[in-house]
Amino acid sequence: MTKVFDVIKKDTGSSARRGVLHTAHGDVQTPVFMPVGTCGTVKAMSQAELLEMDAQIILGNTYHLNLRPGMEILSKAGGLHKFMNWPRPILTDSGGFQVFSLSKLGKITPEGMHFQSHIDGTRLFMGPKESMAIQRIIGSDIAMAFDECTAWPATHAEAEKSLDLTLRWAEQCLLQPRADGQLRFGIAQGSVFPDLRERAVRELSAMEFEGLAIGGVSVGEPEADMLKVLDWLEPHLPQEKPHYLMGVGTPRQIVEGVMRGVDMFDCVLPTRMARNGSAYLPTGTIPIKAAAYKEDFTPIMEGCQCYTCRNFTKAYIRHLLNCNEILGARLMTIHNLHFYLQLAQDIRTHLEEGTFMDFARQVIALYPENFGSERCAP
């Protein structure tokens, strides 16, 4: 079997590593930030713009794509890559988190979850078989195993019961057929309990998954608890496989994750915050809609090479946002995504040059703790 992941350099001052993930639609340089394209589009962005800013891989979501446009359309289109005209890799979330958020409208069984559509209330069912079948039709390069996202806070007994189900479903996911060249990642749950988290990683590492994801974080717990989970898991993560921290996060959290051996990140924060009028800087976010920027004829961020900052001022973008002009949201999104993708590029460069820890300390010192760390998954 062709090797899926190569570690090409390790940091001497932390568990960070510079790697390459090999997929059917090309190599992904890690650590990597993956823009979220829930319904087959990264909100407010064209595919050409994503390619121009060198987005290496984007996300789609099994739950949302199954509802709209539906598997009949995607099958006739030849899969999501052709449907949305995206030439690079795609990772699909299994839909577990979305179903988890709708679980109050249904019930969990050993076979899967009964729930209601958020669109029209239609009663639906999804389990490991259904999730993997949908992801096979989508044709994603990386398919996530169907899991139960453990709620926070949870008791040890509740978290253990949830983990038991997730591990059972992981085994069933591996029994399902997959698209040609499709990789599969298992998801480690276990809430904030070290014994459960370590058990999850140990058992999933023994299964035939090509990668390992850390789920059940950024669901309401303090940032300090998320970092504790990563500290517990770091010694147990399989070194030959890529590590993916799901739904995380802020620039500070991404750097903290890389220090603890994480290779892949996704988050809706850059696009969501953009639509709400907040722009990312190394020191946090600023509210471009605010009156303070009415006569500010400087770019969002001095020295930023994104299209927005090279061509427009805060005053103009504020005007667009306050007039509800679509271009305002687009220009903000271009800047925020460029900021995140540039952060990942800077991390890779510093890892290659052996200066990562100095860079990491600088980011952590500048960026506020727990700043904008709401749940980041779609």
Residues annotated catalytic, as ranges: 93, 266
Give, as one character, the DSSP assignment of residue 41: S
CA separation for the pair 128, 96 (Å, rounded): 9
| Alpha-carbon gap, residue 75 to 215, rounded angstroms | 29
Beta strands in the chain (DSSP E): 5-10, 17-23, 26-30, 32-34, 58-61, 90-93, 107-109, 112-116, 123-126, 142-144, 183-188, 211-214, 243-245, 264-266, 278-281, 284-287
Q: For residues 19 and 34, give the distance between their C-alpha atoms in angstroms, rounded to a whole number.
A: 15
Q: How far is CA 231 from CA 224, 244, 353, in A?
A: 10, 15, 25
Question: Pick from 259, 195, 269: which is nearest to 227 by CA?
Answer: 259
- The alpha carbon torsion through 346, 352, 355, 359 (nearest 10 deg) reads 20
Q: Name residues whose C-beta falls within 8 Å of residue 292's C-beta, 6 or more positions apart in sequence.
A: none
Distance, CA of 11 to CA of 132 (rounded, Å): 36
β 142-144/90-93 pair status: parallel
State the DSSP code for 220.
S
Question: Alpha-carbon distance 327 to 376, whole Å?
Answer: 24
The enclosing H or E element of 335 equals helix 326-353
Please check whether residue 128 is in contact with residue 145, taking contact to mean a CB–CB distance below 8 angstroms.
Answer: yes
Residue 78: alpha-carbon gap to chain centroid:
25
Q: What is the CA radius of gyration of the chain?
A: 20
CA dist 180 and 240 (Å) reads 22
